[in-house]
Amino acid sequence: MSTRQAGDILKELFSSMKISRREETIFDAWPDLVGEEAAEHLKIQDIKGKTLLLTADHPGWVQMARLRKNEFLEKIKGRFPDKYIDNIKISLR
């Protein structure tokens, strides 16, 4: 038996029922954008202007996020072209 996230089940249900839900946000899509494991360690704190503010729970995750910053930005721009996010700042919580 596989486990599925409630959000995935609801998306399928709403899609099959042709019911639209609120617009997806970067916060909603975060695990898809960076991967489940990274999303557990890197949390979105806020969006200030064009900058996405993240916190990490370990210095290693800060470093990883800095190395993958451009990749994250490209994924965000691809999925949310109207959000105009062009920078990511990462801090340790």
CA 11 to chain centre: 17
Amino acid of residue 6: A
The answer to the question of residue 8 being in a domain is: no
Structural domain total, the chain: 1
Q: In whole angstroms, give the CA distance from residue 73 to residue 2.
A: 31
Q: Is 71 inside any structural domain?
A: yes
Q: How confident is the model at residue 6 (pLDDT cuts 50, 70, 90)?
A: confident
Q: What's the rounded Cα separation, in Å, for the pair 18 and 12?
A: 10
| Domain span including residue 85 | 24-92
Amino acid present at 42: L
Model pLDDT for residues 75-90, shown as the tens digit of each residue: 999 999 998 999 999 9
pLDDT for residue 58 is more than 60: yes
| Cα dihedral 56, 49, 69, 28 sign | positive
The full DSSP string for 56-85 is ESSHHHHHHHHHTHHHHHHHHHHH-TTS--
Does residue 11 lie within any of the structural domains?
A: no
- Residue 28: give its domain's CATH number: 3.30.300
Give a yes or no: residue 18 inside a domain. no
* Model confidence pLDDT, tens digit, residues 20-29: 556 899 999 9
